Amino acid sequence: EAGVTQSPTHLIKTRGQQATLRCSPISGHTSVYWYQQALGLGLQFLLWYDEGEERNRGNFPPRFSGRQFPNYSSELNVNALELEDSALYLCASSLEQGNTQYFGPGTRLTVL
Amino acid sequence: GDSVTQMEGPVTLSEEAFLTINCTYTATGYPSLFWYVQYPGEGLQLLLKATKADDKGSNKGFEATYRKETTSFHLEKGSVQVSDSAVYFCALRGETLTSGTYKYIFGTGTRLKVLA
């Protein structure tokens, strides 16, 4: 069974640009979570989608947004990129909300 | 609010040494507790979990016991290997009282280095 997949593996952008990160959950999982892991920091919860709806978001500005598609895959969009947005962005999925989360390998975003 | 506190790293051990990584939590209700491991350049992998008090999670020689009286979930391994070098995250899944939804809280991670 395929695990959570994320693309791209690496993404390099310049300040002010927009970044789009993608995540495909494990087959059958309906919940998708996004986390930011900045250097030296732990995981910071960004967004949670379930059944196509945004269910919860962490303490991040509105320029961090996303969506979940009918096939339960998800996109994370970061607008007006800032240098401090450079981080590893991890996606996780679970069978339904509240169940154990399984993580993808992450997308490393570098903002120059 | 809910929180998870892990011992700061890095923890450096020789091969075959005994490992303990401390994790304590604060939470309302009855959270589930998890340990995740992140190998260099990879995402997080679920290592073990416990869903109620006194449960012991175990996997790959690692163990952790859910202690409600001390609000702890310390990770232990009797004999570490070089291949165990990674960052270990303690996490809890708690229920928000207002919305009835679940939230996950992760610790800051503890880096383990095992020397041959």
The separation between CA B47 and the C-alpha centre of its own chain, rounded to angstroms, equals 8
* Cβ-Cβ contacts under 8 Å, B107 against chain A: 42
The answer to whether B23 and B75 have CB atoms below 8 angstroms apart is yes
| A34-40: average pLDDT | 87
The rounded radius of gyration (Å) of the Cα atoms in chain A is: 13
pLDDT tens-digit map of B65-90: 999 999 999 999 999 999 999 999 99
Contact at CB, A106 and B43, closer than 8 angstroms = yes
Task: With a cut of 80, say whether residue B2 has pLDDT above it.
Answer: yes
* Cβ-Cβ contacts under 8 Å, A97 against chain B: 101-102
pLDDT for B21 equals: 97
Task: With a cut of 70, say whether residue B100 has pLDDT above it.
Answer: no
CA distance A39 to A57: 21
pLDDT band at A68; cut points 50, 70, 90: very high
B95: closest chain A residue by CA:
A98
The phi and psi torsions of A84 (rounded to 5 degrees) equal -75, 0
Annotate A39-77 with DSSP letters as a single string: TTS-EEEEEEEETTEEEEE-S--TTEEEEE-TTS-EEEE
Which has more pLDDT, A12 or A98? Answer: A12
pLDDT tens-digit map of A84-110: 999 999 999 998 766 788 999 999 999
pLDDT for B46 equals: 92
* Cβ-Cβ contacts under 8 Å, B95 against chain A: 98
Degrees (nearest 5) of the Cα angle A92, A72, A82? 55
Stretch (H or E) spanning A107? strand A107-111
**Could you tell me which of B40, B86, B38, B42 has the C-alpha nearest to residue A106?**
B42
Task: With a cut of 70, say whether residue B99 has pLDDT above it.
Answer: no
What's the gap in Å between the CA of A87 and the closest CA on chain B?
13
pLDDT for B97 equals: 52
CA distance A8 to A23: 9
Which residues in B4-18 are b (16+ Cβ under 10 Å) and which e? bebbeeebebeeeee
| B3-22: average pLDDT | 94
Mean pLDDT of chain B: 91
pLDDT for B9 equals: 85
Contact at CB, B106 and A4, closer than 8 angstroms = no
